[in-house]
Amino acid sequence: MPELPEVETIKNELSPWVVGRSFTEINILDARLVCGGSVEEVRRGLIGQKVERLERRGKYLIFHLSSGRSLIMHLRMTGSLLLNPKDVDRYARAVFHLSNGHFLVFSDRRRLGKMWLVDDAGVVVCKLGPEPLDESFTPDILEQRLSRHRIPVKAALLDQCIVAGIGNMYADEVLFAARIHPLRKADDLSSEEIRTLHNCIRRILVAAIGNRGASVDTYVRPEGELGTAHFDFKVAHKGGETCSVCGSTIERCVVQNRGTYFCPRCQPLTPRL
């Protein structure tokens, strides 16, 4: 699933191609993609509108339009936004033609992605928690938000209402870097552990953005290239392999129906005193 680093990469790499350009033709091939309106309403609302800027909020990509409205996309598990692909394959759900002659294809193998055209983007993203890379996201803010929840810390990191943008694989990497077991209760972490966790969240996400995201499954960048962030993964998707730090075997458990990878020695369930 595209998480914060992948969506940030898509935003960064699409911006030079789409900002300042207008939509000239919209072909929506799967009506289930559209939320909160009809296909024809979305087409009429987009054609002729200029993209003023692109924004990422959590895992959502937001096109701010000259009309004052916003086109919001959520790629979900297998969605991609492709720039000028050679072929519009059978997974294409929508094609967006631009005034500079280029076009975007929303491709989605499992057809779980969603798209909204709204007057106020807040209608869709209002429940999201703070952005983990914003200056306003401090260790104290993280502690306040985690202290309200007696759930596994892995589940808390996946809850987009607590912190926006962190998904399954980066939650595993962050917890490994912080040496925190994924089943530890969120409200049971010490202030020192939360400071470490906060630092690891920012460090892991910034590094992943620098590596243009992780291509572990279906994620590709807009022009078809792969991201390389997964080459730095220590535990995510590495069940049964050897921990690069201590030599133990990386284990897998299930948290909130999500496969979760951790090192039992580096991330003890009972913290060492």
Task: With cut-offs at 50, 70 and 90, classify the pLDDT of residue 211.
Answer: very high
C-alpha span between 162 and 243 (Å, rounded): 29
- pLDDT for 245 beyond 70: yes
Answer for the pair 155, 128: CB distance below 8 angstroms, yes or no. Answer: no
Rounded average pLDDT over 118-147? 97
Per-residue pLDDT at 272? 64
Answer for the pair 153, 182: CB distance below 8 angstroms, yes or no. Answer: yes
Least confident of 55-59, 164-168, 172-176, 267-271: 267-271
In the chain, the largest separation of any two C-alpha atoms, in whole Å, equals 63
Per-residue pLDDT at 1? 76
Kindly report the pTM of this predicted structure: 0.96
pLDDT (tens digit, 9 = 90+) per residue, 20-61?
A: 999 999 999 999 999 999 999 999 999 999 999 999 999 999
Strand-pair partners of 62: 55, 72
C-alpha span between 69 and 269 (Å, rounded): 47
pLDDT (tens digit, 9 = 90+) per residue, 91-132?
A: 999 999 999 999 999 999 999 999 999 999 999 999 999 999
Neighbours of 43 (CB within 10 A): 17
Per-residue pLDDT at 273? 55
**At the topology level of CATH, where does 139-262 sit?**
Helicase, Ruva Protein; domain 3 (1.10.8)
Q: Where are the domains of the chain?
A: 4-125, 139-262
> Among all residues, which ones are annotated catalytic?
2-3, 59, 258
Average per-residue pLDDT for the chain = 97
Residues 6+ apart with CB under 8 A from 272: none
The CATH superfamily assigned to 4-125 is MutM-like, N-terminal (3.20.190.10)
Residue 196 tokens read as 């470490």
Per-residue pLDDT at 104? 98
